[in-house]
Structure 1
Amino acid sequence: MASLQDQLLKAGLVDKKTAKKVGKEKRKQDKVAKKTGESRQSEAQQAAERARAEKVARDRALNAEREAAQRQKAIAAQIKQMIEHNKQPKGEAGKDDIAYHFTFDKKVKKIYVSAAVQDHLVAGRLQIVGDGEQFDLVPRVIAEKIAERNPNTVVAPPENNTSVDEDDPYAGYEIPDDLMW
């Protein structure tokens, strides 16, 4: 099979002088590319390579997003399972329940608990965990494990601030922990 150059010569579209000039120019380019270590690629090949590289980068970013979403789902499932297996009763339903107020997400919320459960909450043996509307009681150890995974689901325990300011005019009046609002 004859080369394209031979075919063009036979068809009369190119003369011998032009064909030799083009061949010589091509050999020069090959020689320069060989010396510099560059491979000769057409613009189409370079564009295809760029598109392939962009696609790989885009695919990596999408995979990273998917993996992050899967991790978040797994963490949420772990938290839900820990709460379900370790939640404590809030107390017997009835009129002897006490409204226990706490702050969650910069809002004051309340749950009704028995007096014994309130004592455990104040002492720090139980902590409140939950999302926007449903709150459950779990032991402090479990709440710490949940806080490692997602600290936004655990309600901070009440602070026992026993430091007294010297200039405080109400220093002699102690506020009880079980103060009802």
Structure 2
Amino acid sequence: MAKSLQEQLMGAGLVDQKKAKAISKEKRKKAKQTPKGHQQEDEIKSAAKQKLADKAERDRAMNQERQKEIEAKEIQAQIKDLIKKNAIPRKKGEIAYSFTHNKKIKKLYVDETLQAQLARGQIAIVAEGESYELVPKAVADKVAQRDAARVVVQNERSNEVTDEEDPYADFQIPDDLMW
């Protein structure tokens, strides 16, 4: 009842039997030349290559992240070592040197010589964990190169030009002002 397209074309007189055989022969040839699933294999191979490339990219990104973490740990270890080796020992001081750290006022008890050195910028205060240490200016500079947030107080002498019309120009603020 259902006739194939080939039979319908032959019945209508559009195609003769020789032409129909040639077309079917050509179809079989093409089918033999391209094996079944060959196209699927190419798609599977390209998908596998893409997965490998994606995995390699993820691995590369993870390795870079790990490397950054390792470098950050090394820097923190260097800072800790610098502070530990160069910390200035504090005797039990009677003078409370006040400074701000993380928007809080902190106090460090020092003696007169350490207070004078802090005011002149010869020594600095650096954060070491929950405590604070005094270190020479050169060490504070090295710490600041690695992590500027660790240097809490580092005073510097300023050579500011004073304003001619400033009514308080004659009243200099002392470096060792306690607040």
Q: Which amino acid aligns with 2:130?
A: E
Equivalent of 1:21 in 11, 27, 30? 30
Partner residue, 1:137: 134
Matched, 1:128 2:137: no
SS across alignment from 1:147: helix
Partner residue, 2:162: 164
Measure how far apart 1:59 and its partner are. Answer: 0.3
Measure how far apart 1:159 and its partner are. Answer: 4.4
1:112-145 Cα offsets, whole Å, 9 max, x none, are: 1111101111122111111463110111111111
Measure how far apart 1:41 and its partner are. Answer: 6.1
> How many aligned residue pairs are there?
151
TM-score between the two structures when normalised by the length of structure 2? 0.74
Partner residue, 1:179: 177
Moved more, 171-180 or 153-162: 153-162
Q: Which amino acid aligns with 2:150?
A: T
Unaligned runs of 5+ in 2: 1-23
1:1-181 equivalence runs, <5 A: 17=25, 18-24=27-33, 26=34, 42-90=42-90, 92-93=91-92, 97-131=94-128, 133-161=130-158, 162-181=160-179
Measure how far apart 1:107 and its partner are. Answer: 3.5
- CA distance, structure 2, for counterparts of residue 77 and residue 160 of structure 1: 30
Larger radius of gyration: 2
SS across alignment from 2:152: coil
Q: Which amino acid aligns with 2:163?
A: D
CA RMSD of aligned residues (A): 2.5
- CA distance, structure 2, for counterparts of residue 74 and residue 132 of structure 1: 16
Partner residue, 1:31: none
- CA distance, structure 2, for counterparts of residue 134 and residue 112 of structure 1: 12
